[in-house]
């Protein structure tokens, strides 16, 4: 492919707000929920800790520290799975996902409950009225619940509360049954449904408060904060704004072609973060104006996804290698639960990276190869390093936040292996 232009390996420099002492931050967080010297809850009380399926950095040491802090207060902590329909909506599937994240009783120091059991608490009376509210049985049988989750922008909707503690209560704690009900409302109503359902959970479940996690542009822990129940509504709104300010971005707003080397649930709930690629593929919802990527190719599916290729339908091109790894049951369940079935649609499939690239470029019909605006990224979560074509490099070369690392004069077709972004 020597007829094509040079490519440039670049680094983006982000602010990198980073937490110093993780254990000290967890201790302070737990102190906010259980102030030293208070009499409640009594020694021996059971405390349920929510645990989801997202790949949160440092989740094992965070959970381990929370458990240790609770034990030091003579409480009996345990973890319970809150992941909606993920893991096929089955206890064994949930267990597999948690084990892949390192969340096991041996690692955490506390029991881990995986179950599909839920109880109907009633129906919403505020906001969207009449919605059934389901809650994990373990939360109701405990003496207290701590909601632990990362706060960040959602990939299908925007609102006052997106991915965070409110969604963990409204969708995660409702498990497959609750998640199915919420997603059946359609994306346009989820933002209103979350606070309505979470409000009932907070009224009828012994929630003590939450421990919020915010990550920076490098997927590093930037903040861990304990939030008492009474402060959850206001503080989560503030932390969502902070989290969005930390989100990494592509260095340009328009390009002809973007190649994603690997997609997966460990990078985004939609396999590829819609906020990064500028694609939603939701019927009736306008596509974002920026960023605009004319064509999108994805080369592989990550191992931690366990075959769940939700989001493959966001791409225009893929490889036989990726398609061979798809677990249709897991992918279809995820997309049917959300109602966004087009995200499971398999795009044009090519035998190799080179064939994908060749066909993508032929469709673009560029008069001059040097005008190609191309970016090759490892995934949509790690955007600190990437490869860009000569045309894109000319646009960004004067940006002080961009550093040139390497130039290849001959374009190499083995994108998955040759264009390392690590």
Q: What is the pLDDT of residues 309-328, one digit of tens each?
A: 999 999 999 999 999 999 99
187-204 vs 175-183: helix crossing angle, rounded to 10: 140
**Is it true that the peptide bond before 110 is cis, omega within 30 degrees of 0?**
no
Q: Is 387 helix (H, G, I), strand (E, B) or coil?
A: strand
Q: What is the pLDDT of residues 329-375, one digit of tens each?
A: 999 988 988 888 999 999 999 999 999 999 999 999 998 888 999 99
Higher pLDDT, 183 or 105: 105
Question: If we measure between CA atoms, which residue out of 67, 322, 403 comes closest to residue 311?
Answer: 322
pTM for the predicted model, two decimal places: 0.81
Mean per-residue pLDDT over the chain, rounded: 92
Q: What is the pLDDT of residues 73-112, one digit of tens each?
A: 999 999 999 987 777 768 888 899 899 899 999 999 999 9
Mode of pairing for the β-strands spanning 112-113 and 292-298: unpaired
Q: What is the pLDDT of residues 365-377, one digit of tens each?
A: 998 888 999 999 9
State residue 268 phi and psi, 5-degree precision: -165, 150
What fold, for 40-246?
Answer: Rossmann fold (3.40.50)
Handedness of CA 350, 353, 355, 360 (dihedral sign): positive
∠ CA(177), CA(263), CA(291), 5° rounding?
A: 100
Q: Where are the domains of the chain?
A: 7-14+249-418, 40-246
Question: How many C-beta atoms lie closer than 10 Å to residue 129's C-beta?
Answer: 9
59-72 vs 22-33: helix crossing angle, rounded to 10: 50
């Amino acid at each position: 492919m020597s007829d094509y232009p040079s490519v440039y390996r670049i680094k983006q420099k982000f602010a990198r707000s980073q937490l110093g002492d993780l254990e000290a931050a967890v201790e302070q967080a737990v102190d906010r929920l259980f102030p030293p010297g208070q009499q409640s809850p009594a020694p021996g009380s059971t405390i349920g800790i929510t645990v989801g399926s997202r790949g949160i950095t440092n989740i094992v040491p965070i959970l381990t520290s929370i458990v240790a802090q609770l034990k030091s207060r003579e409480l009996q902590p345990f973890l319970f799975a809150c992941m909606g329909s993920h893991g096929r909506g089955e206890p064994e599937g949930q267990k597999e996902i948690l084990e892949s994240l390192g969340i096991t009783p041996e690692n955490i120091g506390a029991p881990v409950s995986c179950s599909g059991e839920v109880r109907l608490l009633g129906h919403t009376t505020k906001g969207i009225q009449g919605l059934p509210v389901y809650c994990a049985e373990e939360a109701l049988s405990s003496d207290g619940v701590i909601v632990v989750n990362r706060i960040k922008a959602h990939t299908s909707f925007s609102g006052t509360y997106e991915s965070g503690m409110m969604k963990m209560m409204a969708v995660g704690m409702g498990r497959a049954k609750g998640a199915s009900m919420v997603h059946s409302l359609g994306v346009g109503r989820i933002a209103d449904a979350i606070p309505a359902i979470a409000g009932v959970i907070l009224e009828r479940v012994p929630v003590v408060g939450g421990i919020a996690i915010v990550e920076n542009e490098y997927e590093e822990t930037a903040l861990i904060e304990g939030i008492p129940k009474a402060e959850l509504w206001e503080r989560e709104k503030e932390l969502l704004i902070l989290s969005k300010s930390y989100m990494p971005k592509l260095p340009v707003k328009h390009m002809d072609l973007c190649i994603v080397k690997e997609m997966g649930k460990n990078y985004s709930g939609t396999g590829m973060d819609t906020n990064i690629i500028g694609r939603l593929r939701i019927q009736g919802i306008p596509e974002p104006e920026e960023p605009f990527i004319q064509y999108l190719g994805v080369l592989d599916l990550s191992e931690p996804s366990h075959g769940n290729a939700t989001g493959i339908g966001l791409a225009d091109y893929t490889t036989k290698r990726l398609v061979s790894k798809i677990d249709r049951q897991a992918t279809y369940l995820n997309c049917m639960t959300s109602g966004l079935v087009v995200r499971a649609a398999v795009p044009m499939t090519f035998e190799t990276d080179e064939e994908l690239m060749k066909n993508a470029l032929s469709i673009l019909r560029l008069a001059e190869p040097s005008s190609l605006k191309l970016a090759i990224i490892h995934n949509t979560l790690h955007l600190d390093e990437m490869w860009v074509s000569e045309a894109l490099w000319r646009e960004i070369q004067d940006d002080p936040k961009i550093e040139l690392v390497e130039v290849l004069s001959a374009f190499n077709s083995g994108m998955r292996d040759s264009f390392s972004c690590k």
